[in-house]
Amino acid sequence: MFDTVGGLPLHALVLHVVVIAVPLATLLALLFAYPRTRNWARWPLAVVAVGTLGATFVTKESGEELEQALGIQPGNPVGDLIEVHEQLANQLLILVAVFTVIAVASSLLVSRLDVAPRRPPVAIEVGLPVLLVIVALVMAYWVYRVGDIGSRAVWNPEGSVNYSTSGGE
């Protein structure tokens, strides 16, 4: 189910959704935490968070399918990097799930500026947005880590290539 689309590995296609969705979700979390932009960011945050969770799940599952299809095993540079990549991806899925729960709860529970006859408790009003931003920043860093290890496994598993340019050499 999570293997190919049109002959291309699904993983190589859907990982780009996660690479775009996580920073977008992080940006929306920051906008939501700021009271003046909260009303605008409220529902896009919830929708993007749920979509990011779905995309992350499909990406993780398709990565496992790709690993099996290619017969990648630990014990060589590529296999060892893929093993770390898989562990970090599993952790990322948990982070995205936690972020999604906090984002949806924040969207529903944190008050709006234009409708505030009864304010929720301070723990909800202040605590949820702060927690949302913290988890969003960790999630953004984690997607970087997952992608860095994955790209090294594909493009430079032995670390022998230096892609940086130095002056005119």
Given a cut of 70, is residue 158 above it in pLDDT? yes
CA-based radius of gyration for the chain? 19
Q: Which residue has the tokens 């529970």?
A: 109
CB 27 within 8 A of CB 137: no
User: For the chain, first and last CA: distance in Å?
Assistant: 47
CB 104 within 8 A of CB 25: no
Mean pLDDT of 137-147: 98
What is the greatest pairwise CA distance in the chain? Answer: 67
Looking at residue 106, its pLDDT comes to 94
* Chain segment 33-92, per-residue pLDDT in tens: 998 999 999 999 999 999 999 999 999 999 999 999 999 999 999 999 999 999 999 999
* Chain segment 117-141, per-residue pLDDT in tens: 566 667 778 889 999 999 999 999 9
Given a cut of 70, is residue 113 above it in pLDDT? no
DSSP state of 126: I
Looking at residue 166, its pLDDT comes to 63
Mean pLDDT of 137-146: 98
Looking at residue 160, its pLDDT comes to 85
Answering whether pTM is above 0.85, one says yes
